[in-house]
Copies of this chain bind each other. A is one copy, B any other.
Amino acid sequence: MEVQIAVAKTNKYAVTESGDTLEVVERPNGGVSVVLADGQTSGRGAKAVSMLVVRRVIALLADGVRDGAAARAASDTLYTEKQGKVISTLNIISVDLQSGTVVVTRNNPAPFFMAHNEKVDCISTPSSEIGISRNIRPVISEIPLEPGLTLVVFTDGLVHAGDRVGRPMDICTSIKAVLEDQDPSPRQVADSLLAEAVRLDDNRPSDDISVVVLKVLSRTGDDVRRMNVRLPITPRS
């Protein structure tokens, strides 16, 4: 087996700093975790919030803390620092080699999608942002790690794409359409969803948008772990 993860991330139009923060870190007992937070509002303030949340979570995961406990701790930290006045969404997607599962920990009203081959399910159990009150709990989904599984997780910039101009995005239909292609790579799925969202916003995204696509495949290649990063650099004004 192998797991492939693709991330695509763009900023709100005319804002140089994304309010979304995303990090991929190795788990101390095997596997990787993707940690994604979207801080309230946009620009520098939101960035500070989402970085605070993601840093807290990755420090705890590195210590071997379970994902759900890390999400609760991040919520309490944010609540304590901002007295409940600033909220953030949080998603943790973990490939946990100890349990042989993918664990999705979600504090985000936005749903996520899970596909087994071309059958797509929307997981939309109500879930609260973190930092809004005490005793915030995440919604946790544990999914067996097996070939054919695709997960699509995103921030609300994708959910609200096109709202401004009255043609909202139907994410489920879009995912089904791209999965019908000939065995698309996670890269193709992520890029296709992000491109559609940006197009619906007339190429001026009305919010930061981050999309994470995780796919489990039968082993096709060598034993090499690989990571590629592309960082476009916008000259600062």
A residues sitting closer than 8 Å to B (CB atoms) are 1-11, 18, 21-26, 28, 31-32, 51, 55, 58-59, 62, 95, 97, 145, 186-187, 190-191, 194, 219, 221-234, 236
Q: Which residues of B are found within 8 Å of A225, using beta-carbon distances?
A: 7-10, 18, 229-232
Given contacts A21-B26, A23-B26, A26-B23, contact A6 B231 (CB under 8 A): no
Are A226 and B230 in contact (CB-based, < 8 A)? Answer: yes
Q: How many copies does the complex hold?
A: 2
A-B contact pairs, 12 of them (CB 8 A): A2-B231, A2-B232, A4-B230, A4-B231, A8-B224, A9-B225, A10-B225, A31-B231, A219-B232, A226-B228, A227-B230, A228-B228
Look across to chain B and name the residue whose beta carbon is closest to the beta carbon of A232. B2
Distance, CA A231 to CA B96, complexed state (A): 12
C-alpha gap A38/B192 in the complex (Å): 38
| Nearest-neighbor residue (CB-CB) of A187 within chain B | B228
Known: A23-B26, A51-B28, A62-B51. A9 touches B224 (CB 8 A): yes
Which residue, of A6, A7, A18, A224, has the highest number of chain B Cβ atoms within 10 A?
Answer: A224
Structural contact, B2 and A230, CB atoms closer than 8 A: yes
Distance A223 CA – B226 CA, assembled complex (angstroms): 23
Given contacts A59-B59, A62-B51, A233-B2, contact A24 B227 (CB under 8 A): yes
- CB of A11 within 8 A of CB of B230, answer no
**Does B232 lie within 8 Å of A11, measured CB to CB?**
no
Q: Collect the chain B residues with CB atoms within 8 Å of residue A187's CB.
A: 226, 228
Bound together, the chains give a CA A210 to CA B5 distance in angstroms of 19
Quick one: closest B residue to A3, CB to CB?
A: B231
Let me know if A233 and B8 touch, CB within 8 A.
no
Q: Which B residues are in CB contact (< 8 Å) with A219? A: 232-233
- Give the residues in chain B near A223, CB-CB below 8 Å: 10-11, 232, 234
Q: Is the CB of B224 within 8 A of A10?
A: yes
Given A23-B26, A59-B59, A223-B10, check contact A3 B233 (CB 8 Å).
yes
* Nearest-neighbor residue (CB-CB) of A31 within chain B: B231
Cβ-closest 7 pairs across A and B? A5-B229, A7-B227, A9-B225, A226-B230, A1-B233, A3-B231, A228-B228
